[in-house]
Amino acid sequence: MVFQEAYKLTVLDRRTFATPLENSWGRVVNMANTCETFGITPQTVAKLIQKGYSSVALLAFMRLNDHPDLFEPMTNYERKSVHKCIKVVAIIDLVVFQTSNDAC
């Protein structure tokens, strides 16, 4: 299921999620758009940004028990959405990293 979501994000969705060159604001917008795709509320996105996760790449490094205070006020649905988002983003980040290393 997670691989299927990663496939949808990278192939079927026409929006750009990780452009090669982007400014810091563009990284925040891409991260917010990615979170929105998974049904994460704007309030939670704002909390993620406050915690320092201001890009898709940084979100890929997040571990699920890094910030327990972030997950406490969430509904079960949103908590699962955040977990799913982090897993998919981490897989995409890994695939992009491996592909770029193979090209070198």
36-85 pLDDT per residue, tens: 989 999 999 999 999 898 888 888 888 877 777 877 788 888 888 888 88
16-34 pLDDT per residue, tens: 555 555 678 888 988 899 8
Above 60 in pLDDT, residue 87?
yes
Residues 6+ apart with CB under 8 A from 59: 31, 34, 35, 48, 53, 85, 86, 89
48-62 pLDDT per residue, tens: 999 898 888 888 888
pTM of the model: 0.68
pLDDT of residue 20: 54
Mean pLDDT value of segment 12-16: 55
Domain locations along the chain: 2-103
Above 90 in pLDDT, residue 95?
no
Torsion angle in degrees (nearest 10) through CA of 39, 89, 49, 40: 10
Q: Comparing C-alpha atoms, which of 66, 63, 54, 57 is closest to residue 92?
A: 57
CA–centroid distance for 41 within its chain: 13
Residues 6+ apart with CB under 8 A from 47: 70
| Residue 48: CB atoms within 10 Å | 24
- 3-state SS, residue 56: helix
